[in-house]
Amino acid sequence: MGKTILITGAAGYIGSHTCVCLLQAGWHIVAIDNLCNSSARAIERITELAGRDLRFYTLDVRDYAALSKLLQQESVSAVIHFAGLKSVADSVTRPLDYFDNNVCGSVSLLRALHQQGVRKLVFSSSATVYGHPQQVPIPESAALSVTNPYGRSKLMVEQILEDLAQSDHEWRIATLRYFNPAGAHESGRLGEDPRGEPGNLMPYLAQVAVGRREYLSVFGDDYPTPDGTGVRDYIHVMDLARGHLAALERLFSHSGNFTVNLGTGQGVSVLQAVAAFERASGKAIPKRIAPRRSGDVASCYALATAAQELLGWRAEKKLAQMCSDQWRWQHQNPEGY
C-alpha cells in the first residue's frame, strides 16, 4: 500500500478494472498502453471511478529505451503485465505479430525491470495453456500444451519467467491463469470495448442484445457436454481485478513464485450463457447453430482452490451479475467508449 505499481496494458479490459481496484486500495499507479486495442478514454473513466489520479503514458512495451527511461523517472516497486494481443483467431493468421508483441514485448519489459532492479511481477497468463484439457476441473498441475500461436506465446512467456526466476532468486513472480473474463464495472462506465467483430462470447451476446449484430452463431452443439455446446468458466472482471490485488499483496509479503488459476470452478454452456443474458437484458437473443470453431475445446473450467488457499481469494460474483453488468455497460455505451 502506498507503493507505485507499473501497469502495462492499463487501458484494456482487465487492466482498466484492475487499475480502479488498486487505486481504491491505496496503491499508486504508473500506467502504460500503446492503445492498439483500447481508448485513452478508459483512463479518464478509471480516475473518475476511483476518485484518484494515475500517471498515464502512451508507450509500447517493446520500446526498451522508452521503458528504461520511464523506470528511471518513476519509482516502481512492482509490475502487473497485461499488455499483449489476445485474439486466438488473429494469432493463427498473423503469428509473428503475436510472438513479437507477447513474447518480445515481455522480454523487453523484463530486461528493463532487471536493469532497474524491479523484481516483482504479476503476469497475465491464460487457461489456454492447458490446451485440450485431459480433466475438468483443471488443476494448475495439469499437463500444458498449445492449440494456437496465442496459446504458445503465453506458454513461452510462462517458461521464460521460470528460467528468469531460476537465474535470480530475488524475483517474485505471480503467474495468473485466467479463465473467461466477463462482465463490467457495476457503474456501467467501464467495460470491454473490442475493436471490430468480437471473438468472445460475452461481448458478442451484448452486441446482439443492443442491436449491433443480428444473431449469435453457436459454434457447435455436438460436444460431449450436457447440452452439446461448449462449457467455460466465466469469471467477473471485478473478481479478476481483486485477484490481482491479492497476488500483489502476496508478492510484497512472501518470497518465491507462484502460479494459480483464476476462475470460479463452475462450468457454463453457451446455451446457459445465452439464457442468462436474455434474462439480464430482457432481450431475446436470436441464435443459429454453426459448425464448431477450429481449435475450440469442449469443456474448460478451473479447479479454483489453490488461489483460495494461497491468496485467500475466491470469485464471488455469479453469472447473472456478469450478464447484468455487461448489459449495463453495453446499453449505456452502445458504441463503446
- Catalytic (active-site) positions: 150
Nearest distance from C-beta of residue 97 to ligand NAD, angstroms? 10
Taking CB under 6 A as the criterion, the residue among 23, 112, 136, 201 binding ligand UDP is 201
Cβ proximity to ligand NAD, 103 vs 283, nearer residue: 103
Which one of ligand UDP, ligand NAD, none is in contact with 57 (Cβ closer than 5 to 8 A by kind)? none
219 is a contact residue toward ligand UDP (CB under 6 A): yes
Site for ligand UDP in 285-324 (CB under 6 A): 293, 296
- Neighbouring residues of 179: CB distance < 8 A, sequence distance ≥ 6: 127, 232, 233, 234, 235, 261, 262, 263, 264, 300, 301, 302
149 is a contact residue toward ligand NAD (CB under 6 A): no
Which one of ligand NAD, ligand UDP, none is in contact with 270 (Cβ closer than 5 to 8 A by kind)? ligand UDP
Taking CB under 6 A as the criterion, the residue among 199, 228, 271, 306 binding ligand UDP is 199
Whether the CB-CB separation of 115 and 109 falls below 8 Å is answered with no
Q: Binding residues for ligand NAD, how many (CB under 6 A)? A: 29
- Neighbouring residues of 244: CB distance < 8 A, sequence distance ≥ 6: 18, 21, 22, 80, 122, 176
Nearest distance from C-beta of residue 240 to ligand UDP, angstroms? 14
Report residue 34 as a C-alpha cell.
Answer: 500503446
- The edge-to-edge listing of strands for the beta sheet with 28-33 is 55-58, 28-33, 4-8, 78-81, 120-126, 172-178, 258-262
Per-residue x/- mask for ligand NAD, residues 153 to 182, rule CB under 6 A? -------------------------x-xx-
Nearest distance from C-beta of residue 79 to ligand NAD, angstroms? 12
Cβ proximity to ligand NAD, 104 vs 298, nearer residue: 104
Rounded to 5°, the CA angle 201-246-55 comes to 80
- Neighbouring residues of 2: CB distance < 8 A, sequence distance ≥ 6: 26, 27, 28
Report residue 57 as a C-alpha cell.
Answer: 503514458
Taking CB under 6 A as the criterion, the residue among 6, 83, 202, 280 binding ligand NAD is 83
Listed residue (52, 79, 86) closest to 244, CA to CA: 79
Task: Give CA–CA dist 298/255, Å, rounded.
Answer: 37
Taking CB under 6 A as the criterion, the residue among 7, 14, 113, 202 binding ligand NAD is 14
- The edge-to-edge listing of strands for the beta sheet with 268-269 is 268-269, 231-232, 299-300
Which one of ligand UDP, ligand NAD, none is in contact with 160 (Cβ closer than 5 to 8 A by kind)? none
Residues that bind ligand UDP (CB under 6 A): 180, 199-201, 204, 216-219, 230, 232, 270, 293, 296
